[in-house]
Chain A
Amino acid sequence: MQATMSKADARRLKKLKLKAARRDQYKRFTRSKGGNFFYTLFLILFGLFSILPMYYCIITSLKPLDELLVFPPRFYVISPTFESYLTLPSLLDNLAVPLSRYAFNSIFISVATTFLHVLVGSAAAYVLAKTNIPGKKVIFAIVQMSLLYNAYTLEIPRYLIYSALGMIDTYWAYILPMIPSSMGVFLMKQFMDTNVPDALIEAAKIDGAGSFRTFWQIAMPNVKPAWLTLTLFSFRDLWSIQPAGTIFSEELKTLPFAASTIAQSGIARQGCAMAVTVIMMIPPILVYLVTQGSVTQTMSSSGIK
């Protein structure tokens, strides 16, 4: 039979196989056609809902003044302009501090605190998950408990501590309280428990790696998705941080403060408000691209298989 197959048939067969292979490559979660349809619908519908406000915001920031005042608001822009962006600096003239200072504060605080938070949190999580220090259980109980208390309960006594430590009206008031936030420890410990095998750590120790080296070169690469996710969350929270009674100097305030000042300046400034919102969106998106881009890559599976 094989011998009788013509060249054209062989080519067709090859094509079919290729097609099947390609289809396999992009196999979705379910295999049935109905399931595929349902999931596609789910994705598109939910996706639309989730992206719409952002899309509208970008469109609004590009609208000229006469289009801004149209009712009902349009979902498209006829003659896009960057006017709103260009008038931003002049809007803050009466604030004594240039917009760049707010931006610098925000970036500095977010980056420094995120780095310290991830480092301190993972180090603590590593010890809690992988070593036998005395009092381990008590510490983890405190971690779990502290997750449930939000800042309101502690706001007033915390303020007293800030003032006792002389942290009021300094960068420390932003940075220090956020470092020991227990979300990081909790998240990292959950991932380290399952994803850093004890045997791997033992092997590293036998090979002569010190505690820090074991943590930094063995444990951390194994939970890369976890700490990248933590970085993203931490940055996201810190980027939107606004001083609540702890910062009074204008030159220490953050971008969200400037953004809300602009937003208060009336309906005619809608374009500017949206422009500053767009600017505020950029850094978290960059962090997202960097962190999630590498999360989707294959995990480091070196070591034990």
Chain B
Amino acid sequence: MKNDENKVVDTNNTEEKKPSLSEILKAEEAELKAKKKAEKAKKKGKVAYDINGNIIPDLNVKHVRGIESKKSWYGFYFVLPWIIGMILFFLIPLISSLTYAFSDVVPEDGYMETTWVGMENYKFIFQNDDTYQLNLLSSIGDFFTQMPIIIIVSLILALILNSNFKGRTFFRGVFFVPVIVATGVVMGLLTQSYGGNGAIIQLSSSISTDAYSVVGTGGGMDFSELLNSLELPEEITAQLNIMITDIFNTIWTCGIPVVLFIAGLQTIPSQLYEASKVEGATAWEEFWYITLPSIGQTLLLVIIFTLIELLTKADNPIINQAYDQIKNVEYGLSSAMLWLFFAIIGAITGLIILIFTKTCLKRWE
């Protein structure tokens, strides 16, 4: 009886008494603490308790326990072969080449003897070798002038080749086959890039670089020879030669972007175009509001691919310079040269990706 009375009195008291300011603050503080605790626990993946020892349910967390979480680990089997390969053939060599860039490297039997020299390699490059800086500037400048042309020309080609017209298959063949066929030796033989000073076209993976040096008198097309035989004034011949080389370079570099663009264009659902036709959109509007936004990801892919093609192709002056250093067994120097170059490429790419995703892709979503 007594207890019961007390309780009643107690409750009455609390109801009557207004909570003081300090009490409110205390309560708020406790609440905040509990919240923080819950957040912390969420990050760790544990369950959070409030002050009373009850579990705080977190409504934002997806419940990934059970089958779902097992499945997400199952995903690792999918990436595992690739990860192993990546570590073996990319990450380990990458780290060792980074150490080479800051060391003096002496090849021993089966391994490399490295002594740490800090920035000595870079000092040497910048003090004793003017060509490196010039090459660096020229290859980056070339890249910024060629990139827009290649992207625009290949997008136009892809759009034309993706539209419906008579002989589409034939024209696709005309544009792709030479590009697909001409790699490495075939490329060298076709254009005789080292035979004469004619059309110098190089679009090959780095592996096949040695092909060029061995291709001597292939018997492929030599434009300068052909132009000379026309017996035009010398200046015109020279100008034509440069022009033809430029056009060739553009077309042959465009091949892969065109293929990529077409693959991207193929994935745009035709319903979108049907809808735009119903709405009465012009071809121009159709391009800006449907085609371009739909291939945003592909465009990014093409930009990156072109960047890699342009900056890492075999006739890049920096790469040639570094390769010469490899031949001179100056592994440290060559690594240093390439690392600086690729750091710059990386920065440019990162910037492009950032700007592109922040502006274009966001707006197009």
Contact = CB atoms under 8 A, between A and B. Distances in A.
Q: Which range contains the number of B residues in contact with the other chain?
A: 35 or more
Nearest to B248: A49
Contacts of B269: 301
Contact of A147 (B176, B218, B256, B304): B304
Contacts, number: 336
Given A152-B323, A158-B89, A211-B78, A263 B216 contact: yes
Interface in A37-96: 39, 42-43, 46-47, 49-54, 56-57, 60, 68, 71-73
B180 A225 contact: no
A258 B295 CA distance: 42
B179 interface: yes
B38 interface: no
Interface residues of A, number: 112
Nearest to B213: A260
A232 B160 contact: no
A232 B85 contact: no
A277 B186 contact: yes
A293 to B, nearest CB: 8
Interface in B294-353: 297-298, 300-301, 304-305, 308, 311-312, 319, 322-323, 326, 331, 334-335, 338-339, 342, 345-346, 349, 353
Contacts of A193: 297
A170 interface: no
B124 interface: no
Contacts of A147: 304, 308
A49 B251 contact: yes
Contacts of A229: 259-260, 263
Contact of B217 (A43, A133, A186, A270): A270
Nearest to B170: A47
Contacts of A133: 72-73, 75-76, 79
Given A31-B283, A267-B217, A295-B263, A157 B206 contact: no
Given A157-B97, A260-B185, A280-B186, A242 B210 contact: yes
Contacts of B113: none
B89 A27 contact: no
Contact of B252 (A50, A150, A292): A50
A193 B264 CA distance: 12
Interface in B54-70: 64
Nearest to B167: A43
9 contacts: A26-B164, A31-B283, A157-B100, A160-B110, A229-B263, A232-B259, A259-B185, A266-B217, A295-B262
User: Considering the complex of A and B, which 9 residue pairs feature the smallest CB-CB distances, nearest first?
Assistant: A180-B85, A270-B219, A240-B184, A72-B229, A157-B93, A240-B183, A150-B312, A154-B93, A157-B96
